[in-house]
Amino acid sequence: MKDFFRRNGGLILIAAILLALVTAVVSTLLGGVADPLSNVVQFLTTPARNGFNAVINWTEERYNDAFEREQLKQENEELKQRVAELEEKEREYEAALQENERLRNVLELRPKERSFDELESAMVTARSASNWASTLTLSKGSAQGVAVDDCVVDEYWNLVGVVAEVGENWCTVRTLIDSDTEMGALISRTGGAAILEGDLALMGEGKLKLTFLPENSQLMSGDLVTTSGRGGVFPSGIVAGHVEEVRTDASGIGQYAVIVPETDLDNLKQVFIIKDFTIVE
């Protein structure tokens, strides 16, 4: 073998040079076709490079997915907040419409034959109905000119009660079914005079009673009972309620009528305080 290379070394060198030249020429003529060595290198490194690129692409996709999810979550929260704001505005709008409707009713239904110089609109902010009292807390007080003994009505001019306590921006109303209620009353159908009184037993039923009934009053279920205006606290002609039934009192001699209020005390939202009116004597 050594003799072979010694004898033919020159030829082998010449052949190698020629092969290299031919390879270079062919590569040039083929416009960028890889030479065998480059081809081998590419063959060996391509799988690793492809795998690396796949990992990069997968990582980018996961990152993009996470980013999009976070972005969607944020957009969702913003949309929820926007919806909540719109719903709140809608509730405020509906409340304003209802308040305007009640104001329109109270002005349109105001009794023409009596003079009510000042009305103060107020919202019911709290209500208390214990075994001993029935009261409402309103959103207006002395700062708005509200005073103790001011009469309170609903939008239809039904009697709600009378102001019992006043703060600067609030007041407490003793409702007409409170056990301390007592006022002069008239039976609309007959014109007979009587007394409206709160009663502990009836208060739990949301009712009150009409006492000192006139002789032969012949009360009927459904008869309307209004304020008489006597005493100066309640204006005359304010509807208090209607007769449900007539009962015999504990003595077994006298009678009284059970009165159902015309106003819906449990669902009142807005009321009107009569701060001044013409007294009927």
pLDDT along the chain (281 residues), means of 10: 52 56 53 54 57 67 75 81 73 64 61 65 89 93 96 93 97 96 92 94 95 87 91 86 92 90 94 79 48
Return the pLDDT at 16: 52
Q: Please name the residues in contact with 171: beta carbons below 8 A apart, sequence gap of 6 or more.
A: 122, 137, 138, 140, 141, 146, 150, 163, 165, 273
Q: Residue 72: what pLDDT?
A: 80
- Residue 280: predicted pLDDT: 45
pLDDT given at position 200: 93
For the entire predicted model, the pTM comes to 0.63
Buried b (16+ CB within 10 A) or exposed e, 145-156: ebeeebbbbbbe
- Per-residue model confidence (pLDDT) at position 140: 95
- The reported pLDDT for the residue numbered 19 is 54
255 contacts: CB under 8 Å, gap ≥ 6: 213, 246, 247, 248, 249
pLDDT value of position 31: 52
What confidence score (pLDDT) does residue 245 get? 95
Distance between CA 119 and CA 121 in Å, rounded?
Answer: 7
Domain 116-277 has CATH 2.40.10.350: yes
